[in-house]
Amino acid sequence: MPTSDSINSISEALTVAGWFRVDADSDTGVRRQNAFLLEDQSASEPVPNGWSFRIWTTDGLSPGIYGTTEVPQGEWHHIAGVWDGTQMRLYIDGVEEAELRTDANAQTDGAWGGTIGQPGDILQLKYGSETFIGGMDEIVIFSRALSADEIEALTLGWEKALPVQPRGKLATAWGSLKVR
């Protein structure tokens, strides 16, 4: 996906989420190289069949945060990575991972600062020669950190997570005036 002003505006906080079904060993996902990634862990990473979230900021490349939940292959799961400007979090099916690991399989609290830059890299649903075997759906990227409640709402569907309340909006008011 080509870069855009909205993607380039993400710098102070980030949420990237979606529904994923991994059907065979994979090692990629949603990624904008030199900005962020949310991807399935490979057999060589701390928790094969787990997920990882990583960001590149003015402080450098964050340690990868790896969840400890193994996600069964062949099933749809909602995965979300959230960064509020100081703390990275990973959610599996709306539940925050209680324990996070780094590349070296050490425990981490997900602390990371800086701001995300504007790399020239495009938004990708796979990276280089890495493979993703399965399906992806409803990928969303927000320029803010969603709360735990908002992440849980995303798992219930768009209508619950992002309701549109028409009352008091111009189109509804105009429609009411026209009917009179």
Q: What would the pLDDT profile of 31-70 be if each residue is shown by its tens digit?
A: 888 888 898 887 887 788 889 999 989 998 888 788 889 9
Distances (CA, A) of 127 to 7, 12, 38, 71, 96: 18, 24, 11, 21, 26
Between 169 and 12, residue with greater pLDDT = 12
180 HSE (CA, 13 A, CB side): 5
Q: What is the pLDDT of residue 84?
A: 93
Q: How many domains does the chain have?
A: 1
**CATH for 21:** 2.60.120.200
Q: What is the pLDDT of residue 169?
A: 53
Domain span holding position 90: 5-179
Between 44 and 139, residue with greater pLDDT = 139
Q: What is the pLDDT of residue 172?
A: 47
- The amino acid sitting at 168 is G
Of 102, 77, 89, whose CA–CA distance to 19 is shortest? 77
Separation of alpha carbons 134 and 129, rounded Å: 16
Between 11 and 164, residue with greater pLDDT = 11
**pLDDT one-digit tens code per residue, 98-131:** 788 776 777 788 888 899 977 777 777 767 777 8
Judged against a pLDDT cut of 90, whether residue 146 lies above it is answered with yes
**Distance, CA of 105 to chain centre:** 21
Q: What is the mean pLDDT of residues 158-162?
A: 68
Of 70, 43, 40, 75, whose CA–CA distance to 54 is shortest? 40
Judged against a pLDDT cut of 50, whether residue 96 lies above it is answered with yes
Judged against a pLDDT cut of 80, whether residue 163 lies above it is answered with no
Determine the 3-state secondary structure of 15 from DSSP.
strand
Between 79 and 32, residue with greater pLDDT = 79
The residues, any chain, with a CB within 8 Å of residue 80's CB and separated by 6 or more, are 15, 16, 17, 18, 38, 90, 91, 146, 151, 154
Tokens 């993400």: give the residue: 10
